[in-house]
């Protein structure tokens, strides 16, 4: 049965990559179930579907993967997002894009490996279009994607201040983690598809 990862990687039923994925049926099934539980949640009390899709669009954009941007961009439009979101997300992606991972270590022997890089602050126009909650979620997402070793309580405090519940912060962070996984599985499968044994 084909799933979202098959769709994104262009895997046909009965193909060699389909067989490889079936060799890891649990991973295949539960990656799809992870997608379903994140994007078709039982409750939207802590993070709405629209917010989740908007974060997904941002993560896809930060990774510069056209297939992922198209997929989640379509989902955003179909979910009925406000018209201004598409442009605001695109502007945020342009401003936030970079090269990771970078960041700082706790002071000590690893400080020699500290690698400086930007801490993303969303622009005023994008904040106005997306609202305080999504603006804070994007700033948190950028840290997780590009410089996770800088994680610190103030990043979480900013989310709380913007109105995110503890559960909502867990959901958004899990979402970014899942997308990082999904994007990499799809990227890897696409390379394998173009390079048959």
Partner 1 sequence: MSDKVISTPPHVEPVVFTRDMLDWLPWLEPMAEQELTARHMAGLVDAARAKSAYFRLLVRDPEVLEHRTKTDKDIFYNPEAGLPRAERELAAAATSRFNGCIYCASVHARFAATYSKRVEDVDRLLDKGVDTDLDARWNAIVAASVALTSTPITFGPEHVDALRKVGLDEASIVKACRPLMASFKVPRRVIEVTEWPMTESGKIQKHVLKARLAGSGESLIGATG
Task: Determine the 3-state secondary structure of 115 from DSSP.
Answer: strand
Instruction: Choose one: 73-81, 83-91, 119-127, 178-186; the region binding partner 1 (CB under 8 A).
Output: 178-186
- Biggest CA–CA distance in the chain, Å, is 53
Of the two residues 12 and 113, which places its CB atom closer to partner 1 in the complex? 113
Residues 6+ apart with CB under 8 A from 173: 140, 144
Q: Does 119 bind partner 1 (CB under 8 A)?
A: no
The CA distances from residue 185 to 54, 146, 151, 182, 189, in Å, are 21, 18, 25, 5, 6
CA torsion sign, 52 to 170 to 61 to 94?
positive
Cα–Cα dist 164/131, whole Å: 12
- Residues 77-116 as x/- pattern, contact with partner 1 by CB under 8 A: ---------------------xxxx-x-xxxxxx--x---
Out of 93, 137, 178, 179, the residue judged to bind partner 1 by CB under 8 A? 178
CB of 124 to partner 1, least distance (A): 26
Of the two residues 80 and 195, which places its CB atom closer to partner 1 in the complex? 195
Q: Are 147 and 100 in contact (CB under 8 A)?
A: yes
Residues that bind partner 1 in the complex, under the rule CB under 8 A: 20, 23-27, 29-31, 33-34, 37-38, 41-42, 46, 62-65, 98-101, 103, 105-110, 113, 145-146, 148-149, 153, 156-157, 160, 164-167, 169-171, 174, 177-178, 181, 183-184, 187-188, 191-192, 194-195, 197
């Amino acid at each position: 049965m084909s799933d979202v990862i098959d769709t994104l990687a262009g895997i046909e039923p009965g193909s060699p990559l389909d067989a490889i994925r079936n060799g890891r049926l649990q991973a295949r099934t539960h990656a799809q179930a992870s997608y379903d539980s994140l994007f078709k949640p039982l409750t939207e009390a802590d993070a709405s579907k629209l917010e989740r899709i908007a974060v997904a669009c941002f993560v896809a954009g930060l990774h510069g993967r056209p297939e992922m941007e198209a997929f989640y961009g379509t989902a955003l439009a179909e979910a009925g997002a406000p018209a201004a979101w598409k442009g605001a997300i695109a502007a945020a992606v342009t401003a936030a894009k970079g090269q990771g991972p970078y960041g700082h270590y706790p002071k000590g022997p690893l400080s020699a490996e500290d690698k400086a890089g930007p801490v993303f602050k969303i622009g005023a126009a994008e904040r106005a279009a997306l609202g305080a909650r999504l603006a804070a979620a994007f700033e948190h997402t950028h840290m997780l994607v590009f410089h996770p070793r800088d994680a610190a309580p103030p990043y979480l405090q900013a989310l709380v201040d913007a109105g995110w519940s503890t559960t909502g912060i867990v959901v958004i962070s899990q979402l970014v983690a899942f997308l990082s996984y999904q994007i990499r599985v799809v990227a890897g499968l696409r390379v394998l598809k173009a390079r048959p044994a």
